[in-house]
Amino acid sequence: MKRIIIFCAILVIAGNCFAGKQGTVAWGAKLTSPQIVSLSCSFYPYHAWLVQVEPGLGGGKLNIGLGGNYQYTIGAALKMSLLHTWLLPMGGVDVNQTYIGGEFEWMFKGVNFNIGLYGHMAGTNPKRDMIFSAGIGIGF
């Protein structure tokens, strides 16, 4: 727990050095669970603050958090996420389920990796109360 607090403090203090420029938009594509394939649009309304929308085949995410990058070479983000499933979610997750959780994403030379943990929030008769999400993608 102490390491997480230290990491978050460093991210907040150094956020302006590594943040996306205020008002910029970044696009990407990901292979991720439970969404299978998704596109992402990230907007930086104020320096290190990040708002990200990520619709995919198996569901969609809305992410809000702190993050950014340094000259599109290295980057990281810590996000609160709302995930809703539709069509064909993978990983044994039912359609029309809503989950809420957190996600960590890191990027190196345009390739990004993300992991997250979500708890069930809404939807009838879920097969899973908690789900793990992981993915890999590219930014362009």
Beta bridge partners of 59: 85
Say if strands 49-55 and 25-32 run parallel, antiparallel, or are unpaired.
Answer: unpaired
Work out the pLDDT band at 125, boundaries 50, 70, 90.
confident
Lowest average pLDDT, out of 17-26, 68-77, 93-102, 111-120, goes to 17-26
Q: Is the domain covering 2-139 a CATH 2.40.160 domain?
A: yes
What values do phi and psi take at 3, rounded to 5? Answer: -65, -40
pTM of this structure: 0.81
